[in-house]
Amino acid sequence: MTDIASAWSALGGDPALLSRVTAVTREGALHARLPVRELARACVGACALAAAELGARRAGLAEVPRVRVDDGAVATAFTSERHLLVDGRAPVAFAPLSRFWRTADGWVRTHANYPHHRERLLAALGVPEDVARVGAALAGRGALEVEDAVHAAGGLAVAVRTPGEWAAHEQGAAVAARPLVERGRLDSARARVRPLSGTGPLLPAAGVRVLDLTRVVAGPVATRTLALLGADVLRLDGPHLPELPGQHADTGFGKRSARLDLATGRDTFEELLAAADVVVTGYRPGALDRFGLSPQALAGRRPGVVVAQLSAWGAYGPWGGRRGFDSLVQAATGIAAAEGSAERPGALPAQALDHGTGYLLAAAVLRALTEQSYEGGGRLVRLSLARTAAWLTHGGRPGEPAKAVYEGPDAWLAGTGSRLGPLRYALPPVSFDGGPADWARPPGPWGADAARWDEEPPGHGRARPA
């Protein structure tokens, strides 16, 4: 089931701690045919419990702080990109060529938000950048033919499948055979995370240095959450791969953002790695291996490191090396068919695979740090959007009737100044007694910070009430 207990079990958590969690259920939050509200609540609740557990361990508390997960806060956070305003303006979400298209025998979903993906899509179809021309080209071809042709050109398009068709697909079977959260040991090095000290909010990840090698939504949501909890998070991007400005702002709270070419800036990267506690990667499997960034290579140079890997389709099976995004995974795995109609595929009320997997990834890192504090040893945790999709489509059912109503996001929105201008944003949904209520710093421009660790990390605002 897509509940907190099943998520907590997948993370290796002690089931006795589930008694520390209470939930405020709200009708109308993330309404869908599939149990999206339950999945979102489970991911955030498990993340908050992992944070409370680590905080109690590091602070020497007699018991784990109480966790409260509110559907309203969760629903607002899962649609955070829709609520963001930068200097009063809403960022552009999807490009005109990122959408469902009818084909000769069904539907395909394309992703062309980034210029290089758009160019490859158009090259595969042999048409100029014109919605009508693209539509005409796709209407004359089969969905699987389009999927193969666009993939061969380095672009992004997948055929819309039913849940049964995905289950029969070799990649679908490979994904279903894996655990929701893959967890393993990398070495037997001693733990480095020290006890907490000082006053203010309980910050379970205080003093933890996180190298953030992720892009788009899921990975940045995970590292944004670690930053909320006190980690010094440094996001690194290649200078040739700029991020969408609105997307970067939405997921950039609490972090710093630097540009670093891994091919020419290896000395700088090795200096950063030598002091890192966690490395989070979100590129397609194998893409970073040539830079010596496989989990085993990282642990060899930085014993005791926690490596967290995220991918769209999983690091295995025939699609293990493919690029992917939430919208494409929804289309391929049967979610779009389940949420749509005979006339047109549908979509979840949020990029729930991205956000849900992001909170689970942060939870897996926190649990790895807790286990490491007892046992030592570097850790590897691995998640994929496709496996989260399988959990949603096959492991869940709607829960008990809600006890309250979701009346909109206003109660969970806040404003602040920033280097980008005034911001309106969604508050973090991860909540436990004494924990942080907001991020310590707003996002800044993409790549504007130095590629070095903070010498004096900033303080973290107000604490949540006990």
Q: Is the pLDDT of residue 460 over 70?
A: no
Q: Is the pLDDT of residue 341 over 50?
A: yes
pLDDT value at residue 464:
55
Q: What is the CA radius of gyration of the chain?
A: 21
Taking a C-beta distance cutoff of 8 angstroms, is the pair 360, 181 a contact? Answer: yes
Average pLDDT over residues 278-285: 89
Average pLDDT over residues 381-397: 89
Question: pTM surpassing 0.85?
Answer: yes
pLDDT class of 396 with cuts at 50, 70, 90: low
Cα–Cα distance, 274 to 270 (Å, whole number): 6
Q: Where are the domains of the chain?
A: 4-92+175-317+348-410, 100-174+330-339
Instruction: Give percent above pLDDT 70 in the chain.
Output: 95
pLDDT in tens, 19-76: 999 999 999 999 999 999 999 999 999 999 999 999 999 999 999 999 999 999 999 9
Four-way CATH pick for 4-92+175-317+348-410: 3.10.129.10, 3.40.50.10540, 3.40.50.170, 3.30.1200.10? 3.40.50.10540
Cα–Cα distance, 7 to 447 (Å, whole number): 34
Taking a C-beta distance cutoff of 8 angstroms, is the pair 24, 70 a contact? Answer: yes
pLDDT value at residue 401:
72
By CB neighbour count within 10 A (0-12 exposed, 13-18 middle, 19+ buried), where does 458 fall? exposed
Q: Is the pLDDT of residue 257 over 80?
A: yes
DSSP per-residue letters across 239-286: TTSPPPHHHHHHH-TT-EEEE--TTT-HHHHHHHHHT-SEEEE-SPTT
Cα–Cα distance, 141 to 466 (Å, whole number): 60
pLDDT class of 16 with cuts at 50, 70, 90: very high
pLDDT in tens, 186-240: 998 987 778 887 778 999 999 999 999 998 899 999 999 999 999 999 999 999 8
Average pLDDT over residues 257-272: 92
Average pLDDT over residues 285-290: 77
pLDDT class of 453 with cuts at 50, 70, 90: very high
pLDDT value at residue 398:
57
pLDDT value at residue 79:
97
CA geometry: angle 363, 368, 373, nearest 5 deg: 130
Q: Quick one: CA dihedral 66, 60, 212, 9, positive or negative?
A: negative
Average pLDDT over residues 113-133: 90
Cα–Cα distance, 324 to 316 (Å, whole number): 14
Amino acid at 411: A
Residues 6+ apart with CB under 8 A from 342: none
Cα–Cα distance, 157 to 462 (Å, whole number): 45
Amino acid at 32: A
Bridge-based pairing state of the strands 209-213 and 232-237: parallel
